[in-house]
Amino acid sequence: MTGNSGRKKTRAADEIKAAVQAVPQHSRQTLRALPANCGIPETTLIVHMKEHGSLKARYSYVKPMLTADNVQVRNSTSIYDDEEAAARSVKSKNFITKVMFLAAVARPRYDPATKEDLDGKIGILPFVEIIAAKRKSINREKGTPMTVPQNVNGGVYKDFMLQKVVPAVLARFPVGDLRRGVRIQQDNASPHRQSRHSFNWTIA
């Protein structure tokens, strides 16, 4: 049977709308949270959404590269057509720091002294340096130490190899392989060529 049959509605559409709009958007993220905060049963809200269509789920997407704070504020809310979604903001993607890394790997091998296998992962080392901030900003005071990318040339590459890569190799390699000598293999990039020719390195 259709028409006026069935149980009469106890709440008008305007009453439901007023109750929903009185709940803050962050407190109506799910169909369980909304009834608990507005005092209207869940089934009543579902029937209201199907019959009227003005109350619907709206999603507020946060772009990738989320920080811990961004993850906490990522949510969805249920709002009416005549309501405006709460203001959202994310960090700018125009100032993402780009850093060059040097990856040092070796052939996996067995270490008789420790009776363990070396997986060949020597290290992934960034080309960065710590300098004092030249200007004051909302994030830091002038003179605060900050980590910035480092321009790589022959001299920087040589110091990097001697101060970081070689000590990492000495710390990870089996003693027997160190006694036989370690051969560092690299490509023919400009800083590599400068280091090899200027400092008489015997590097492949």
Query: DSSP label at 163?
Result: I
Q: Is residue 145 part of a domain?
A: yes
> Which amino acid type is present at position 9?
K
pLDDT for 197 beyond 60: no
Q: Is residue 169 part of a domain?
A: yes
pLDDT tens, residue by residue, 15-51: 888 998 898 888 888 888 888 998 889 988 888 888 8
Instruction: For Cα atoms 4, 10, 15, give the angle at the middle one, nearest 5 degrees.
Output: 115
Do residue 197 and residue 109 come from a single domain? Answer: yes
User: Which of 161, 164, 175, 158 minimizes the C-alpha distance to 118?
Assistant: 175
Quick one: pLDDT band at residue 204, thresholds 50, 70, 90?
very low
Q: Is residue 88 part of a domain?
A: no
Do residue 120 and residue 194 come from a single domain? Answer: yes
Do residue 197 and residue 152 come from a single domain? Answer: yes
Q: Is residue 191 part of a domain?
A: yes
- Structural contact between residues 106 and 173, judged by C-beta atoms closer than 8 angstroms: yes
pLDDT tens, residue by residue, 100-157: 999 999 989 888 888 888 888 999 999 999 999 999 988 889 999 999 999 888 888 8
pLDDT tens, residue by residue, 146-186: 999 998 888 888 888 889 988 998 888 888 888 888 888 87
Give every CB contact of residue 157 below 8 A, 6+ residues apart in sequence. Answer: 191, 192, 194, 195
Q: Is residue 4 part of a domain?
A: no
Tokens of 122: 């020597």
Distance from C-alpha of 81 to C-alpha of 143, rounded to nearest angstrom? 51
Tell me the average pLDDT of the chain: 81
Do residue 68 and residue 111 come from a single domain? Answer: no
Query: Where in the sequence is the domain holding 18, given as residue range(s)?
Result: 13-75
Do residue 199 and residue 110 come from a single domain? Answer: yes
> For the chain, what is the domain count?
2
Q: Is residue 107 part of a domain?
A: yes
Q: Is residue 127 part of a domain?
A: yes
Distance from C-alpha of 58 to C-alpha of 75, rounded to nearest angstrom? 10
Do residue 45 and residue 103 come from a single domain? Answer: no
Do residue 30 and residue 107 come from a single domain? Answer: no
Q: Is residue 89 part of a domain?
A: no
pLDDT for 202 beyond 60: no
